[in-house]
Structure 1
Amino acid sequence: MEVKIGVQHAPREIVIESSQSTAEVEAAVADALSGSSKLLSLVDEHGRKVLVPADRLAYVEIGEPATRRVGFGAAL
């Protein structure tokens, strides 16, 4: 699953591919925003941990990665 994280005062968003479920990511975001955790902690599909300070979160977008089209004449 693809997770995009917007960080305040940062020009680019953080994009990770995670093997965590939607419910796990939502729970981590909810914990960070409720104040019970000072960091949003997610693990990408390579096992690397991504930590973002909870007070700097602008948005979190959770979704399936877009399929890539191959070829010159890929129909829209």
Structure 2
Amino acid sequence: MTQSAQAMVDLYLAAEKDVLAGKSTTINGRTFATENLQEIRDGRQEWERRALQERLRATGRKSGGPALANFSS
């Protein structure tokens, strides 16, 4: 079953919270503990980028940045 990017962000956030609380956690069959905190954060950031792209595609936008006006003539 394929999960949405936002669902993966949620998993990584829960894993990060668990590890910060001193627990270990498992994502896709892989166990993470305190020493993997940076790896968990890197994974979360990657999935956050993917989730943003999913939301942008759903709204028809190409960029998450602000719209820029061009005032030159």
Q: Please tell me the TM-score bracket, short chain as reference.
A: 0.3 to 0.5
Q: Normalized against structure 1, the TM-score is what?
A: 0.39
Q: Normalized against structure 2, the TM-score is what?
A: 0.40
**Structure number having the greater helix percentage:** 2
Higher relative contact order (CA 8 A, sep 6+): 1
User: Larger Rg: 1 or 2?
Assistant: 2
**Structure number having the greater strand percentage:** 1
